Structure 1
């Protein structure tokens, strides 16, 4: 049976870098939650595009189902979506996790959130760590990321304040549900 390890943390905490290194260290597959972003066309239809990145803008049930499938159906390659930052869109079937994979490291903001959909995600994780990092560094990284992907510095700072920081507060409130807390830099 596969082991599925999770890493949660606020936007900009460095989850991707930490999780990739953790997966490399363990010889594990890396599976980001970001592939379960709803596409912009769906966000537009739902009136949620201005909140992209909030918990309700992800397919949490689909993510939980994929994690469950990874655990219970290990005899063939399972294809998972990725998130293409250049497009700012999910990309279906971009990550293959073959039957030889015994450990999967997955990461995302909301793995520890205490709502029905996200509790289903947490239930599929054998362990979930929380990555804690200094808030000033985290927000600096977020602004830089948004600028790197096309927002002006002012628009990036406004997005971080209006969207990313409320999400960060929500994520921080779920920290006590982690099996352990690790300090990031």
Structure 2
């Protein structure tokens, strides 16, 4: 598989500041570790091995920075209210988390949620996944794009924008649809309710896509509602390997459930599972990554770069 060349500008002209793991770890200062080993293990995804060391060196400095940004945002809202002589509704700080299928962005979102929720000024942190805004399978089949599930055209982007606009307008209760990975479909009539949290993390492969990349033209885009955005990055070959390994693990776990949409894969041999996972990756996920996801990387404020063992090896922070 061809290695994807990183399209990061030359250092002198890059909009990012680069930090090695050691340099980034030094920015933790005295931020306390608030997660136990048991909690860390609960947060990790399939075939991921989170360590206390990674939480300490990468995520504690990251959430320290995010907490400072949240504080500044809250103060800005207070100053604006003073200027206009009124009191506006509480407005959540919105963090976008993007990246390829199988790269570990959901794990990143959960870790950020767990750590930020332990800061004194941000007790309420919610996660919204864009999976909930996929069109139902019935609609995807009718459109003939079931094989493009996860591509921009498979999402009800207008509904996602509507939900984010209500959150940013400070509505006390905002409903978001729920997606079932077991049934591989939207759950009819089921919603999660966002009740004016301090922070909302919006996680999904498509959250940083630009107007030219979206299937339909909108005057407002998902990323317009973000206060800050994070892209979880890795080499294509590593992501492919993680996808295959995850598929083979799910074959023995989630796929073994007779109600699973993918139950037909439960009895595959290792060789058959390798072939099926590789076929799905090449036909769908690799194309989506190359055409729609990877091009948005340099729109993010923060890029977390992973090495082959799934650990974050460096951080890029957009210059202010």
What is the SS of the residue equivalent to 2:207?
A: coil
**C-alpha distance 118-105 of structure 1, shift in aligned 2 (>3 A):** farther
One of 9, 15, 34 as aligned partner of 2:105: 15
What is the SS of the residue equivalent to 2:192?
A: strand
| Aligned counterparts of 1:45 and 1:71: Cα–Cα separation in 2 | 33
Does the 8 Å contact 1:130/1:178 carry over to 2? yes
TM-superposed CA distance for 1:146, in Å, is 4.1
One of 27, 40, 49 as aligned partner of 2:146: 49
Q: Does 1:6 align with 2:96?
A: yes
One of 164, 171, 175 as aligned partner of 2:285: 164
| Aligned counterparts of 1:16 and 1:175: Cα–Cα separation in 2 | 16
| Aligned counterparts of 2:239 and 2:219: Cα–Cα separation in 1 | 23
Question: Partner residue of 2:177?
Answer: 81
Between 151-160 and 13-22, report the one with greater CA deviation: 151-160
| Aligned counterparts of 1:176 and 1:23: Cα–Cα separation in 2 | 23
Question: Partner residue of 1:37?
Answer: 134
TM-superposed CA distance for 1:117, in Å, is 4.7
Does the 8 Å contact 1:8/1:109 carry over to 2? yes
Extract unaligned runs of 5+ from structure 2.
1-90, 118-124, 212-216, 256-261, 311-320
Question: Partner residue of 1:143?
Answer: 244
Q: How does 1:59-138 map to 2 (within 5 A)?
A: 59-75=156-172, 77-91=173-187, 92-99=189-196, 101-115=197-211, 116-117=217-218, 120-138=221-239
Extract unaligned runs of 5+ from structure 1.
none
Does the 8 Å contact 2:92/2:170 carry over to 1? no
1:12-55 alpha-carbon deviations (Å, 9 max, x no partner)? 11111110111111121111111111111000110101211111
| Aligned counterparts of 2:154 and 2:219: Cα–Cα separation in 1 | 12
- Bigger relative contact order, structure 1 or 2 (CA pairs below 8 A, ≥6 apart): 1
- TM-score relative to the length of structure 2: 0.54
In terms of Rg, which structure is larger?
A: 2
| Aligned counterparts of 1:119 and 1:138: Cα–Cα separation in 2 | 31
1:128-171 alpha-carbon deviations (Å, 9 max, x no partner)? 11111232331123234445243451222211110000111121
| Aligned counterparts of 1:142 and 1:34: Cα–Cα separation in 2 | 18
Aligned length in residues: 183
TM-superposed CA distance for 1:82, in Å, is 2.4
| Aligned counterparts of 1:48 and 1:133: Cα–Cα separation in 2 | 27
One of 170, 173, 177 as aligned partner of 2:295: 173
- TM-score relative to the length of structure 1: 0.90
TM-superposed CA distance for 1:60, in Å, is 1.3
Q: Superposition RMSD on alpha carbons, in Å?
A: 1.9
